[in-house]
């Protein structure tokens, strides 16, 4: 076994027979022995850009003195009493990783957005200990629009395990652009769970470029509970050296006139693996539903593996749904074409890889500067493959 018997019982570890965990590496669940924090850099460096507000969480605990907040519009609390009824009835606590966080960490940060904020927010989550648990609740009130950069920063050379749970609730006509960013000094085993509830006319968008993790599991459960609610997930995984990426997205359309989009592309090399498991549930007697799933995988060596399973569970007739998946290696004809234009083999491969990954964000609702930032992350990660 990977973990001790006592640890297995405590965490209620899933078996390989559990469908949603079929392609996951169970090493994700092993928590290393705790090592005290060794924050070795001046963390104020991460809050110097005046174009943002900052909410700083150190080793799971909110740091008021290091955060930079507007005078109005954001309320932050660390009391469990404030979250008793948050997402009540959605059974998010049934997930093992949520229970794991609640068992291992009493620090829960509740962020309430009460009005529009004039600048985007960087949610800095900084750790240098062996194992860290972040639990964050974000409530966005009616008519509020917010842009969150959830930035995970790891320091130190020892092995790290991060278990993050982020719950987001959007009231009527609220919107949230949620960017997941990482700044790791070493490879990290990372479980990242996002739980989402959307009321009428609310819009949620999630964007990520993943390339540094030893193993990374992103699991999201989204409930579209009001008419014209939307949830959109766009991500890129670049696995280059025995790395493991596992994407699980579960979207439940519980109201009419709702929309969901999922698009994840992966590049796998040097005995790495990546999986995409997606399920869209559409309840009975709903009208004007739209849901799309797309996953494309590029395998660069014979030992890497890709698993893809987009699924639709439809109980209504008035729907527009699509799901697609492709897996393969680089097209030799495309390489030959680029070679006839004088492009070296190494750069030709890079062009094809970059084109595949950039396509994820090309049809998003982002500003040009936001897309350029995601493209820059792709470019920097592709250099690791060469």
Q: What pLDDT does 15 receive?
A: 46
Q: What is the pLDDT of residues 83-96, one digit of tens each?
A: 655 656 666 666 66
Q: What is the pLDDT of residues 159-209, one digit of tens each?
A: 788 889 999 999 999 999 999 998 887 888 899 999 999 999 999 999 999
The answer to which of 7-16, 24-33, 299-308, 358-367 has the lowest mean pLDDT is 7-16
Q: What is the pLDDT of residues 343-354, one digit of tens each?
A: 888 888 888 888
Averaged pLDDT of the chain: 84
Q: What is the pLDDT of residues 222-266, one digit of tens each?
A: 999 999 999 999 999 998 888 889 999 999 999 999 999 999 999
Q: What pLDDT does 348 receive?
A: 86
Q: What pLDDT does 103 receive?
A: 65
Tell me: pLDDT of 130 over 80: yes
Q: What is the pLDDT of residues 274-285, one digit of tens each?
A: 999 999 999 888
Residue 205 in contact with residue 236, Cβ under 8 Å? no
**β-strand partners of 77:** 110
The answer to which of 84-88, 168-172, 287-291, 329-333 has the lowest mean pLDDT is 84-88
Q: pLDDT category, 384, cuts 50, 70, 90?
A: low
Tell me: pLDDT of 4 over 50: no
Q: What is the pLDDT of residues 103-125, one digit of tens each?
A: 666 678 999 999 999 999 999 99
Q: What pLDDT does 10 receive?
A: 43
Tell me: pLDDT of 52 over 80: yes
**β-strand partners of 290:** 259, 320
User: How far is Cα 341 from Cα 330, in angstroms, rounded to an integer?
Assistant: 17
Q: pLDDT category, 1, cuts 50, 70, 90?
A: very low
Residue of higher predicted confidence among 26 and 245: 245
């Amino acid at each position: 076994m990977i973990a001790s018997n006592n640890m297995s019982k405590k965490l209620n570890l899933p078996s390989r027979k559990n469908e949603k965990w079929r392609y996951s590496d169970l090493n994700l669940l092993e928590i290393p022995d705790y090592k005290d924090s060794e924050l070795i850099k001046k963390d104020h460096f991460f809050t110097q850009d005046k174009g943002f507000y900052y909410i700083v969480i150190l080793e799971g605990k909110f740091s008021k003195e290091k955060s930079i907040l507007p005078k109005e519009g954001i309320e932050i609390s660390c009391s469990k009493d404030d979250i008793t009824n948050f997402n009540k009835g959605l059974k998010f606590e049934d997930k093992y990783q949520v229970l794991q966080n609640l068992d291992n960490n009493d620090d829960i940060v509740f962020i309430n957005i009460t009005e529009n904020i004039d600048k985007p927010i960087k949610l800095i989550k900084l750790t240098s200990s062996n194992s860290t648990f972040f639990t964050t609740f974000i409530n966005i009130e009616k008519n509020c629009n917010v842009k969150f950069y959830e930035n995970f920063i790891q320091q130190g050379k020892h092995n790290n395990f991060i278990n993050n749970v982020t719950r987001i609730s959007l009231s009527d006509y609220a919107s949230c652009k949620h960017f997941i960013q990482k700044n790791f000094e070493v490879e990290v085993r990372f479980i990242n769970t996002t739980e989402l509830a959307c009321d009428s006319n609310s819009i949620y968008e999630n964007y990520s470029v993943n390339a540094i993790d030893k193993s990374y599991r992103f699991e999201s459960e989204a409930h579209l509970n009001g008419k014209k609610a939307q949830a959109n997930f766009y991500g890129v995984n670049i696995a280059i050296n025995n790395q493991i990426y596992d994407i699980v997205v579960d979207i439940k359309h519980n109201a009419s006139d709702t929309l969901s989009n999922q698009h994840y592309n992966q590049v796998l090399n040097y005995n790495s693996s990546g999986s995409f498991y997606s399920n869209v549930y559409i309840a009975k007697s709903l009208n004007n539903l739209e849901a799309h799933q797309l996953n494309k995988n590029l395998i660069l060596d014979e030992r890497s593996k890709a698993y893809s399973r987009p699924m639709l569970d439809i109980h209504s007739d008035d729907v527009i749904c699509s799901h697609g998946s492709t897996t393969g290696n680089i097209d030799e004809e495309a390489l030959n074409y680029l070679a006839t234009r004088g492009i070296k083999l190494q750069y030709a491969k890079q062009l094809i890889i970059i084109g595949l990954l950039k396509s994820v964000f090309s049809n998003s609702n982002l500003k040009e500067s936001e897309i350029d930032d995601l493209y820059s992350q792709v470019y920097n990660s592709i250099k690791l493959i060469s």
